[in-house]
Amino acid sequence: MTSDDLLARHRAVLPSWMPLYYAEPIELVSGSGRRVTDAQGRSYLDFFGGVLTNMIGYDIPEIREAVERQLRTGIVHSSTLYLIRQQVELAEKVARLSGIPDARVFFTNSGTEANEAALLVATNYRRSHQILAVRNSYHGRSYAAMGVTGNRSWSASALNPLQVAWLHSGERLRGLLARLDEADRIDAAAEDLREVLATQTAGDVACLIAEPIQGVGGFVAPPDGLFAAWKKVLDEHGILLISDEVQTGWGRTGEHFWGYQAHGVTPDLLTFAKGIGNGFALAGVVGRADVLESVPAISFSTFGGNPVSTAAGNAVLDYLRDHDLQANAARTGAILADGLRAAVAGLDCVAEVRGKGLMLGVEFVRPGTLDPDPALATRVFEACRAGGLLAGKGGLHGNVLRMGPPLTLTEDEAREGLAILADAIRSCAAEVSG
Ligand SMILES: Cc1ncc(COP(=O)(O)O)c(C=O)c1O
């Protein structure tokens, strides 16, 4: 079977709105560590990890063995109607690590469902379906999660069970607050929140949902401290804060275990997904007991937190902490960020290299302007692939190259990937200007 046959079969039977990366899409057939091999036998260093999800890497013995141990018991699934030892153990760890006092955890299968659950409990707790969300956000693909997603490309329906008012993200490059210094941007964003509450809501808003660094939005980050400035205003009204840590969690930002910690504030609810299962379907919401307990009916998830995915989750979390991967993310992320900044110095088609730890983006623009250049981003993205490196793409305008490698990335691999990235960016930039 060639990849071409598979591509034709894919196109014949799967919906076209589910995009494939690359002009010639890739079928990955094996992986080890940070490397994957495609059906043609080509090997790649993986700087995207299945969208920041293969957080530990491929074929990690400790995780494989934990899953195999669970499989050998014969219990792949039991439903949450029965006690699941692995689930209770993981919930204890997540509750402790969350930083939220007396926390409860509810497991789901995806980030979308985790955000649905967070919105469910917040709206019940506050008896309000008014929500604050942030421009350029992404929270998932159900009606409620899409309803709080501030990105036209991912907003596939106007149907919305919630009443949503939109805040400025506080980003540096674009929008009304752009180019203000950090302190002024925080003040302006907090002022924007006050104005939105006064003009677009009935006051009794349930929650604000926000990503500490916007993932799909192109790794756009507000200034550190903005969540605290927002929370000060929210607290005046009893409005809850949900931190969507689906991309920023588990130490990926290097400096902290959760993205929210850069802001000096603790959210009421935190949602997690992607990396915790290292590829097994595992996600959830952790939050204040009184908020999590505010579901006035029976609610459960058939597969959420099942024995196999939570066996993986426990092994992932133990591995992450035993190997201090947060420190590794800081170390290898610095090699990448410094190297990328040096590589793009003087290139007027790069507006910014940004991000934290192993969550780094490069934004491409038409030379000398801030006009997005998605075509250039795509060229660089394809050139990386040709050079043996898998990266990601994103941003409101599709003009941001995104790097989110496994947190086990070695320093040598960081330098190897950096060289491919720098070559790809320089050669594509030369074609644009030349
Ligand atoms: C910040 C954020 N929240 C939620 C989601 C939705 O997660 P899932 O695709 O697992 O439903 C994503 C997915 O990319 C995400 O990046």
Secondary structure string (H, E, C) spanning 353-414: EEEECCEEEEEEECCCCCCECHHHHHHHHHHHHHCCEECEEECCCCCEEEECCCCCCCHHHH
* Pick from 82, 48, 58: nearest CA to 302: 82
What CA dihedral angle connects 224, 229, 232 and 237, to 10 degrees?
-120
Which ligand 1 atom is at minimum distance from the Cα of 245?
1
pLDDT at 3: 61
**CB of 325 closer than 8 Å to CB of 255:** no
pLDDT at 433: 76
**CB of 228 closer than 8 Å to CB of 265:** yes
Tokens of 390: 């898998």
CA of 389 to the centre of ligand 1 (A): 23
Residue 267 CB contacts under 8 Å (≥ 6 apart), including other chains: 100, 227, 241, 242, 243, 260, 287
Cα dihedral sign, 374-154-260-335: negative
Measure the CA–CA gap between 374 and 388, rounded to whole angstroms.
21
Best probe residue, ligand 1, of 107, 211, 214, 246 (max atoms within 8 Å of C-beta): 246
Report residues whose beta carbon is within 6 angstroms of any ligand 1 atom: 51, 110-112, 115, 138-140, 211, 215-216, 244, 246-247, 273, 283
Which ligand 1 atom is at minimum distance from the Cα of 115?
4
| pLDDT tens over the chain, length 434 residues | 456 799 999 999 999 999 999 999 999 999 999 999 999 999 999 999 999 999 999 999 999 999 999 999 999 999 999 999 999 999 999 999 999 999 999 999 999 999 999 999 999 999 999 999 999 999 999 999 999 999 999 999 999 999 999 999 999 999 999 989 999 999 999 999 999 999 999 999 999 999 999 999 999 999 999 999 999 999 999 999 999 999 999 999 999 999 999 999 999 999 999 999 999 999 999 999 999 999 999 999 999 999 999 999 999 999 999 999 999 999 999 999 999 999 999 999 999 999 999 999 999 999 989 999 999 999 999 999 999 999 999 999 999 999 999 999 999 999 999 999 999 999 999 988 76
CA of 208 to the centre of ligand 1 (A): 17
pLDDT at 434: 64
- Residue 378 CA, chain-centre distance (Å), reads 21
pTM (2 d.p.):
0.98
CA of 139 to the centre of ligand 1 (A): 5
pLDDT at 432: 83
**CB of 416 closer than 8 Å to CB of 45:** yes
